[in-house]
């Protein structure tokens, strides 16, 4: 992203991180899926524009999606017949919709349907739209401002679009404050689809409570859509040491998870860089003369603490699984490890190397294989 576009996010750097993930993931998804599906349906259920500064909406999720999907289409056209790209943009607010509609009319190379409606009243339209795409793969983005307007019961048909994937913004910072208020009980139960999550959440606090709020919700999204994989990743607050929201990603393909985890790693770098710059600017504007640059001065202890928390949990759970399943496929160990936020395949490899050196794990690789890799049938045996 160039500096000019980056500047559009001044004061709302969390959106920059969200858009980084959307941008990077969509491009790679379209390049992969576009080779085996004739159509890619992209559905933005809460399109905006919302606090957008770019004259051409370049800092909005809908314009980002169009840009990335068109780039993929162009690239795919170099070697084969490219997929049809179809977008459905939904927005409830009348003024915002007028802008969205104007933008939609300027788009070329992508079929766009823009609707001024509430998500609750547009589900049938979305399903019909997706069904009209031939041999289609559907990607649904749900990016609300709070916790209302997308109860689990309502979005279930969207989650069940197959083949398809869904990305949901879970507003952790709002949920943290409102989830236990009596007047919001019905709304949160509708969001989760049942009241049982309360029992698990009530004894928890701090990072554990934050994690449980999103994990319990993500599990329900996974079950409602019949997805094999679910991931969620924290988006840090621009200036404070806390998570502002989480992005939840559900997929039916291992490849999707691999790409999402790659993008997550990139997003962490982007977030830490931008958080460093925000703090640096604040100090300078307060009149402090600084000897060091933003990144040198940045205190990354919040990120490190969260990563350590997830690494520990993933590693402990993997140890238990290894002891229970003799032998365990490497692919299964990967599936478990990377289902935790901020845990990557490099971490898993590091644990296995150490366990091997300590004589705690035996690795059986098929003849001719030298590197531990997924899809090779490699096995791990706890000793």
Ligand X SMILES: C[S@@+](CC[C@H](N)C(=O)[O-])C[C@H]1O[C@@H](n2cnc3c(N)ncnc32)[C@H](O)[C@@H]1O
Rounded Cα distance, 50 and 140, in Å: 18
Nearest approach in angstroms of CB 377 to ligand X is 42
The yes or no reply on residue 92 touching ligand X (CB under 6 A) is yes
The yes or no reply on residue 347 touching ligand X (CB under 6 A) is no
* CB-based contact 86:129 (threshold 8 Å): yes
Nearest approach in angstroms of CB 173 to ligand X is 13
Instruction: Point out which span in 24-32, 138-146, 206-214, 296-304 binds ligand X (CB under 6 A).
Output: 138-146
The yes or no reply on residue 145 touching ligand X (CB under 6 A) is yes
Nearest approach in angstroms of CB 20 to ligand X is 11
Closer to ligand X at the Cβ: 170 or 344? 170
Answer for which of 91, 211, 264, 347 binds ligand X (CB under 6 A) is 91
The yes or no reply on residue 68 touching ligand X (CB under 6 A) is no
Closer to ligand X at the Cβ: 50 or 309? 50
Looking at residue 383, the DSSP 8-state letter turns out to be: -
Closer to ligand X at the Cβ: 5 or 93? 93
Closer to ligand X at the Cβ: 271 or 311? 271
Burial tier of 82 (Cβ tally within 10 Å: 0-12, 13-18, 19+) = buried
Please compute, for residue 355, the number of CA atoms within 13 A of its CA located in the half-sphere on the CB side. Answer: 20
The yes or no reply on residue 172 touching ligand X (CB under 6 A) is no
Nearest approach in angstroms of CB 100 to ligand X is 9
How much of the chain is helix, strand and coil, in % rounded to 5? 50, 15, 30
Looking at residue 248, the DSSP 8-state letter turns out to be: E
The yes or no reply on residue 302 touching ligand X (CB under 6 A) is no
Answer for which of 14, 39, 41, 61 binds ligand X (CB under 6 A) is 61
* CB-based contact 282:10 (threshold 8 Å): no
Instruction: Point out which span in 66-74, 123-131, 140-148, 269-277 binds ligand X (CB under 6 A).
Output: 140-148
Query: Per the structure block, which two tokens stand in for 338?
Result: 């990377």
* CB-based contact 130:41 (threshold 8 Å): yes
Instruction: Point out which span in 88-96, 126-134, 289-297, 327-335 binds ligand X (CB under 6 A).
Output: 88-96
Instruction: Point out which span in 141-149, 160-168, 279-287, 335-343 binds ligand X (CB under 6 A).
Output: 141-149
Chain-centroid distance of CA 124 in Å reads: 25
Binding to ligand X by CB under 6 A, coded x per residue (else -) over 115-134, reads ---xx---------------
3-state DSSP assignment of residue 58: coil
Interaction with ligand X in 212-251: which residues (CB under 6 A)?
A: none
**Complete edge-to-edge strand list for the sheet that includes strand 111-116:** 111-116, 84-91, 39-44, 136-142, 164-170, 243-251, 229-236
Rounded Cα distance, 288 and 72, in Å: 46
Q: Which residue has the tokens 């992969």?
A: 32
Number of Cβ within 10 Å of residue 202's Cβ equals 10
Closer to ligand X at the Cβ: 264 or 347? 264
The yes or no reply on residue 151 touching ligand X (CB under 6 A) is no
**Complete edge-to-edge strand list for the sheet that includes strand 379-382:** 328-329, 379-382, 361-364
* CB-based contact 129:191 (threshold 8 Å): no
Binding to ligand X by CB under 6 A, coded x per residue (else -) over 12-51, reads ----------------------------------xxx-x-
Nearest approach in angstroms of CB 63 to ligand X is 8
Q: Where along the sequence are the contacts to ligand X (CB under 6 A)? A: 46-48, 50, 60-61, 90-93, 96, 118-119, 143-145, 149
């Amino acid at each position: 992203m160039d500096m000019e576009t980056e500047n559009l996010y001044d004061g709302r750097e969390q959106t920059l991180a969200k858009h980084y993930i959307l941008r990077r993931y969509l491009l790679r998804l379209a390049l992969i899926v576009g080779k085996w599906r004739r159509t890619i349906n992209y559905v933005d259920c809460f399109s905006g524009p919302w606090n957008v500064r770019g004259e051409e909406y370049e800092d909005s999720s809908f314009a980002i999606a169009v840009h990335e999907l068109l780039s993929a289409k162009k690239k795919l056209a170099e070697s084969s017949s490219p997929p049809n790209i179809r977008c459905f943009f939904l927005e409830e607010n009348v003024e915002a919709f007028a802008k969205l509609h104007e933008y939609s009319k300027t788009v070329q190379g992508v079929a766009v349907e823009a609707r001024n409606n509430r998500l609750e009243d547009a589900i049938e339209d979305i399903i019909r739209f997706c069904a009209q795409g031939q041999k289609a793969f559907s990607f649904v983005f749900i990016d609300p401002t709070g916790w209302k307007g997308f109860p689990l019961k309502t979005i279930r048909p969207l989650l069940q679009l197959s083949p398809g994937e869904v990305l949901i913004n879970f507003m952790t910072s709002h949920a943290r404050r409102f989830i236990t208020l009596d007047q919001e009980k019905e709304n949160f139960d509708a969001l989760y689809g049942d009241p049982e999550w309360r029992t698990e959440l009530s004894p928890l606090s701090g990072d554990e409570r934050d994690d449980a709020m999103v994990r319990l919700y993500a599990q329900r999204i996974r079950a409602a859509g019949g997805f094999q994989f679910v991931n969620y990743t924290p988006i840090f607050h621009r200036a404070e040491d806390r998570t502002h929201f989480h992005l939840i990603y559900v997929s039916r393909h291992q490849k999707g998870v691999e790409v999402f985890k790659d993008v997550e790693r990139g997003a962490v770098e982007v977030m830490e860089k931008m958080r460093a710059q925000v703090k640096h600017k604040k100090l300078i504007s307060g009149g402090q003369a600084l000897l060091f640059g933003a990144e040198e001065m940045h205190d990354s202890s919040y990120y490190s603490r969260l990563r350590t928390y997830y690494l520990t949990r993933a590693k402990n759970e993997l140890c238990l699984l290894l002891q229970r399943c003799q032998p365990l496929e490497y692919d299964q160990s990967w599936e478990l490890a990377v289902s935790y936020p901020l845990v990557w395949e490099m971490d898993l490899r590091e644990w296995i190397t150490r366990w091997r050196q300590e004589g705690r794990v035996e690795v059986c690789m098929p003849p001719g294989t030298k590197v531990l890799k997924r899809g090779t049938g490699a096995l791990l045996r706890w000793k």
